[in-house]
Each structure stands twice: as C-alpha cells, then as structure tokens.
Amino acid sequence: MLELTDVVAGYGSTVIVQGISLTVGRGECAALVGPNGHGKTTLLRAISGLLKVRSGTIAFDGTDITRVKAEKIVEHGLIHMPQGDLVFPDMTVEENLILGAFTRSAAKRARERIDEVYEIFPRLHERRTQRARTLSGGERRMLAIGRGLMGDARLIMIDEPSLGLAPVIVDEVYHQIQRIVKSGMTVLLVEENIHRAQSLAHDIHLIENGVIVRSGSGSDLLDERAIRETYLGVAE
C-alpha cells in the first residue's frame, strides 16, 4: 500500500534520510525504531509531502506521490500524526476533532466518524466540551490521534505516541492504537522502544543515521544479542 524506493531527504545542505526503501502492506502495522535524531520524523515528513524528496520514489496505493503536495496527499487518505501534541488549546475536544475532518468528503462523514473516535477513546467523549488546554498529557495525545482518524484515513503515520507519557498512560494509548490496527487500518508507527513497537507491529525497521540497518519481526530482531544491547541497553 505504501512503497518507498531509495528515498533521500534532508534540510538545506544536510542529507538526513539517505536512501530508504520499505513497503507497508494494506492492513499491516510497520514500525520505524531508532535513536534520537536519526531521521525518523524526517522520513515521515518526506512521505507526507511536508519535506521535499530529493531522490527516490514514494507510491501510495499504486499512485506516485513523490512530488505531490501535502494537502493532496491528505486527500489520498495518507494521514500524518506529528510528534508532540498539536492540538488547539483554546478549542474544545470536539472542536479539535471536527477540525480533523477538513476535506470536503471527510466533512460529510464527520458526525459518524466522531462517534467512532469516541468509541475508541471514551475519555474524549467524557471531556468533549472541555478545552484542550485542560486535558492531561495522555488525553491530549489521544485527541491528536483521534483528530487524525477524522479524515478519510487509509494509512496513518503516528510519530512517537508514547513520548513523554507515564508508562501506565502509554499502555492505555497503545491499547487504543491496537484497536485501530485491529480495525484494519494500515499504520506506520515511529517508536523509540523496540518492545512497544513489537507489541503492535508486523515488521520493524531499525533506522540509524538515515538508513535502515535491519528489518524483521520484533522477535527476530530481539533474538540478536547486538540489537538487544543497542536498543535495550542490556549487556549480557
């Protein structure tokens, strides 16, 4: 469903993503795992059209989207949920959700979608009239994910849903993402913790210095001592 071939991207004269190829099949969840500053977010930005691709190609559902503008890519149903909680603090939970249905076709289905989002995130329903600024960190994360689901999403890219949250809240957010995956949505997840990634993802791609250094299932990768040492910090 999503196919990257030798994608190169960066900022100014700096090349960050140095030739990445990967495929995410329909209904699958794949994860990009890697240390800080190695190009995970940059790759998502290149896929969603927020950053120019210097070379290589990106195809989504058979359509070449390499040079397509970000607004159009969203209309294709490829939704990027950015790192950090980009919600509108002075708007209510429900107003924030409605903003996620900004394309014409999504707007028509906003009422029905909002009920689906409330079903996945009952806490958002409880707090629907509350301003986003008064939400807890975990609830804001749920709101940011819920807003992404309000579009005509066919593939969602979630950038570090666990960042800065207490472990118990991370469990809750992951449980909800699991439901989204089980519903048949295609997901590309960025996660720093390989165990968390493994709990959701079919394929894990390890990124270092802007290239994929290994790909495989979580258990395959965790069977390797060098990977355990690097990613879990366990010396054996």
Ligand X SMILES: Nc1ncnc2c1ncn2[C@@H]1O[C@H](COP(=O)(O)OP(=O)(O)OP(=O)(O)O)[C@@H](O)[C@H]1O
Residues making contact with ligand X (CB under 6 A) = 11, 16, 34, 36-42, 83, 192
Q: Which residue, 100 or 210, is less far from ligand X as judged by CB?
A: 210
Q: How far is the CB of 36 from Mg ion (least distance, A)?
A: 7
162 binds, among Mg ion, ligand X, none (CB under 5 to 8 A by kind): none
* Residues 52-68: b if buried by 16+ CB within 10 A, e if exposed: ebeebebebeeeebbeb
36 binds, among ligand X, Mg ion, none (CB under 5 to 8 A by kind): ligand X
Q: How far is the CB of 51 from ligand X (least distance, A)?
A: 8
Q: How far is the CB of 159 from ligand X (least distance, A)?
A: 7
Give the residue closest to Mg ion by C-beta: 41
**C-alpha torsion sign, points 146, 87, 137, 50:** positive
Q: Which residue, 98 or 144, is less far from ligand X as judged by CB?
A: 144
16 binds, among ligand X, Mg ion, none (CB under 5 to 8 A by kind): ligand X
- Return all residues near 115 (Cβ < 8 A) that are at least 6 apart: none
Q: Which residue, 32 or 221, is less far from ligand X as judged by CB?
A: 32
Q: How far is the CB of 160 from Mg ion (least distance, A)?
A: 6
**C-alpha torsion sign, points 57, 59, 64, 65:** negative
| First and final C-alpha spacing in the chain | 39
219 binds, among Mg ion, ligand X, none (CB under 5 to 8 A by kind): none
Q: How far is the CB of 61 from Mg ion (least distance, A)?
A: 25
Given the rule CB under 5 A, which residues bind Mg ion? 40-41, 83
Q: Which residue, 27 or 82, is less far from ligand X as judged by CB?
A: 82
DSSP annotation of 131: B
Q: How far is the CB of 159 from Mg ion (least distance, A)?
A: 6
C-alpha 140/C-alpha 146 separation (Å) is 10
The SS3 assignment for 13 reads coil
Q: Which residue, 19 or 27, is less far from ligand X as judged by CB?
A: 19
- Return all residues near 223 (Cβ < 8 A) that are at least 6 apart: none
Q: Do the beta carbons of residue 30 and residue 22 sit within 8 Å?
A: yes
Q: Which residue, 10 or 27, is less far from Mg ion as judged by CB?
A: 10
Q: How many residues does the chain have?
A: 236
